[in-house]
C-alpha cells in the first residue's frame, strides 16, 4: 500500500515439474499437480477459458471478468430491461396499442371503452362521466359493464348523485319523534344543518 493506491498482484506458484492439463489457458489458469487446471479469480470452465459475468447479469455476456455486455434489445446494469417490452410481452389488453419508451418501460393507449395502465378496465359510465357522485358518494357501474351508473350515498344524503344534503328536520335519533321539533309543531329547514320550529299557540322555545 502506498498512499491511497492499492495494487493487487496474483502470484502463481507452479510445482516444479508439474504439467497442466492439455489446453489449459495459462494466462487465466494454473496447476500445482500434473493434469490440473485451476482458474484465476474471474475465470471459469474446464480450461479456464471462460470469463465470469457480473453477478446477476441476465441477458448479457462478458469478454473480461465481471462484465455484463447486453444482448441486442436489452439494457440496464444487469441487462434486465427489455427495450422491446411491447413485442415480447404484449402487455396492453383489449386491443390497446403499446409504445416502448426506450428505457425498458412502456405506455398503453387504450381503445374506446377501456382504461387502466394496461387497458384492463372497462371505461364505464363512472369513468366516462368523471365519477360524478357528490358528497363522498361511491360510483357503481358493475366494473364498467353497466349502461348507467348508480351513486351509493353516505348516510343522510340522497338524490341521483348524492347531491341532496341531510334534512335537518328528519329525526336525528334512531328512535324518537319524526323531527327535532316537539309534536304538534312544524319544522322548517333553513340549510343543511339548520332548522326552525314553528310552535302552535301556547307553546314557545327553540323546539317548542
Range ranked top by mean pLDDT from 50-59, 72-81, 102-111, 147-156: 50-59
In a domain, 148, yes or no: yes
Average pLDDT over every residue of 185-194: 80
Range ranked top by mean pLDDT from 5-14, 115-124, 170-179: 115-124
Does 135 share its domain with 160?
yes
pLDDT at 127 over 60: yes
pLDDT at 146 over 80: yes
Lowest mean pLDDT across 7-21, 75-89, 94-108, 118-132:
7-21
Average pLDDT over every residue of 169-190: 72
Q: What is the pLDDT of residues 26-37, one digit of tens each?
A: 999 999 999 999
pLDDT at 7 over 60: no
Q: What is the CATH number of the domain that holds 116?
A: 2.10.25.10
DSSP string, the chain: -BTTB--------PPTT--PPTT--TTTEE-SSTT--EEPTTEESTTS-EEPPPTT--SEE-SSTT--EEPTTEESTTS-EETTHHHHH----TT-EEEE-SSS-EEEEPPTTEESTTS-EE--HHHHTT----TTPEEESTTTT-SS-EEEPPTT-BSTTS-BPP-TTS-SSSSS-SSSSPTTSEEEEEETTEEEEEPPTT--STT-
The predicted structure's pLDDT at residue 78: 94
The predicted structure's pLDDT at residue 8: 36
In a domain, 3, yes or no: no
In a domain, 143, yes or no: yes
pLDDT classification of 175: cutoffs 50, 70, 90: very low
The predicted structure's pLDDT at residue 171: 58
Does 130 share its domain with 161?
yes
In a domain, 181, yes or no: yes
pLDDT at 16 over 90: no
Does 129 share its domain with 159?
yes
In a domain, 161, yes or no: yes
The percent of residues above 90 in pLDDT, for the chain, comes to 49
Q: Please give the tally of structural domains in the chain.
A: 3
The predicted structure's pLDDT at residue 193: 72
> How confident is the prediction for the chain on average, in pLDDT?
85
pLDDT at 203 over 80: yes
Query: Domain of 191?
Result: 171-207
pLDDT classification of 168: cutoffs 50, 70, 90: confident
In a domain, 78, yes or no: no
The predicted structure's pLDDT at residue 3: 35
In a domain, 136, yes or no: yes
Amino acid at each position: 500500500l502506498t498512499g491511497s493506491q492499492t495494487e493487487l498482484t496474483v502470484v502463481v506458484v507452479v510445482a516444479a515439474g508439474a504439467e497442466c492439463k492439455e489446453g489449459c489457458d495459462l494466462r487465466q489458469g494454473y496447476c500445482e499437480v500434473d493434469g490440473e487446471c485451476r482458474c484465476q479469480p474471474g475465470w471459469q470452465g474446464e480450461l479456464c477459458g471462460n470469463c465470469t459475468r457480473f453477478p446477476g447479469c441476465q441477458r448479457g455476456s462478458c469478454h473480461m471478468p465481471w462484465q455484463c455486455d447486453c444482448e441486442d434489445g436489452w439494457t440496464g446494469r444487469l441487462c434486465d430491461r427489455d427495450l422491446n417490452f411491447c413485442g415480447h410481452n404484449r402487455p396492453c389488453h383489449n386491443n390497446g396499442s403499446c409504445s416502448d419508451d426506450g428505457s425498458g418501460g412502456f405506455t398503453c393507449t387504450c381503445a374506446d371503452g377501456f382504461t387502466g395502465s394496461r387497458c384492463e378496465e372497462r371505461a364505464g359510465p363512472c369513468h366516462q362521466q368523471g365519477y360524478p357522485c357528490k358528497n363522498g358518494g361511491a360510483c357503481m357501474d358493475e366494473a364498467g359493464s353497466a349502461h348507467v351508473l348508480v351513486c351509493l350515498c353516505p348516510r343522510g344524503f340522497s338524490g341521483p348523485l348524492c347531491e341532496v344534503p341531510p334534512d335537518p328536520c328528519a329525526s336525528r335519533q334512531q328512535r324518537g319523534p319524526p323531527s327535532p321539533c316537539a309534536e304538534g309543531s312544524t319544522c322548517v329547514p333553513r340549510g343543511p344543518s339548520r332548522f326552525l320550529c314553528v310552535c302552535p299557540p301556547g307553546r314557545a322555545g327553540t323546539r317548542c
